């Protein structure tokens, strides 16, 4: 039976397996990217399990990676005994800046969604409560902004939350559904503003792609 030397656990949910991996002699690295137990979609039992996963991550992992400074500081302050094993390592998306998009793609894309260059707002992510798109839609609908709001992404599965989002009737709101990385890049390149309404994320890939497209992250 082949057993790996190293196990990389991405998130506090999978970190429930950290003590098992250590018991069979593996080194363990955990990437801590979200306090998943703060998400509204989980019931009490699930939230308790995620908190146990967080505890197992700091107790059993040889090294813990935080991909946002705020999350890393918070984790070190709550678990000072493991602070020396908790490191800030940001996500990276330098490849995005090197991607080339054929000029005709831009025109076709803008025409498909009825957009004008530099006259629309874009946001990217899955249609789940923790991404906060409902917090973005309400003020946008009340605004007098003449352009459109484009939300690029879809739900993992159709549920009540995603259906309610998709039923919003403002003609200025465009849900693209799942789109390729090339389309996301083109949408970001031509937008006037990128918005990240997420409740929990510190430095997600979506924000890095927006920065690579020329937006300032604040």
In tens, the pLDDT along 42-52 reads 889 999 999 99
Residue 163's contacts (CB-CB under 8 Å, 6 or more residues apart) are: none
Same fold, 6-88 and 94-212: yes
Question: Residue 218 has what pLDDT?
Answer: 45
Q: Residues 147-158: pLDDT tens digits?
A: 999 999 998 777
Residue 107 has pLDDT above 90, yes or no: no
Higher pLDDT, 15 or 70: 15
Question: Residue 96 has what pLDDT?
Answer: 56
Higher pLDDT, 152 or 34: 152
Residue 217's contacts (CB-CB under 8 Å, 6 or more residues apart) are: 207, 210, 211
Pick the CATH number of 94-212 from 3.30.450.20, 3.40.50.2000, 3.40.605.10, 3.90.1200.10: 3.40.50.2000
Domain ranges of the chain: 6-88, 94-212
Q: Which tokens is 149 given?
A: 């709001």
DSSP single-letter state for residue 153: B
Neighbours of 159 (CB within 10 A): 13
Nearest to 149 by CA among 205, 201, 192: 192
Question: Residue 40 has what pLDDT?
Answer: 75
Higher pLDDT, 166 or 212: 166
Residue 86 has pLDDT above 60, yes or no: yes
Nearest to 99 by CA among 202, 194, 188, 207: 188
Of all residues in the chain, the percent with pLDDT exceeding 90 is: 49
Question: Residue 98 has what pLDDT?
Answer: 58
Question: Residue 150 has what pLDDT?
Answer: 96
pLDDT band of residue 199 (cuts 50, 70, 90) is confident
Question: Residue 70 has what pLDDT?
Answer: 85
Question: Residue 103 has what pLDDT?
Answer: 65
Domain 6-88 fold: Rossmann fold (3.40.50)
d(CA 104, CA 107): 5
Residue 140 has pLDDT above 60, yes or no: yes
């Amino acid at each position: 039976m082949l057993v790996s030397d190293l196990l990389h656990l991405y998130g506090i949910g999978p970190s429930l397996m950290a003590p098992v991996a250590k018991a069979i002699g593996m080194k363990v690295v955990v990437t801590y990217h979200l306090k998943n137990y703060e998400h509204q979609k989980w019931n009490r039992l699930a939230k308790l399990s995620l908190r146990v996963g967080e505890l197992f991550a700091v107790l059993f992992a040889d090294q813990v990676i935080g991909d946002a400074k705020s999350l890393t500081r918070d984790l070190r302050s709550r678990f000072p005994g493991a602070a020396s094993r908790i490191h800030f390592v940001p996500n990276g998306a330098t490849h995005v800046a090197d991607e080339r998009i054929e000029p005709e793609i831009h025109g076709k894309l803008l025409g498909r969604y009825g957009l004008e260059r530099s006259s629309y707002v874009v946001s990217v992510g899955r249609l789940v409560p923790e991404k906060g798109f409902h917090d973005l839609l309400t003020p946008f609908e009340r605004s007098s902004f003449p352009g459109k709001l484009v939300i690029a992404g879809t739900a993992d599965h159709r549920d009540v939350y995603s259906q309610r989002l998709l039923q919003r009737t403002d003609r200025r709101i465009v849900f693209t559904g799942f789109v390729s990385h090339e389309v996301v890049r083109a949408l970001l390149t031509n937008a006037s503003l990128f918005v990240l309404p997420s409740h929990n994320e510190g430095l997600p890939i979506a924000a890095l792609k927006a920065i690579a497209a020329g937006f300032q992250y604040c």
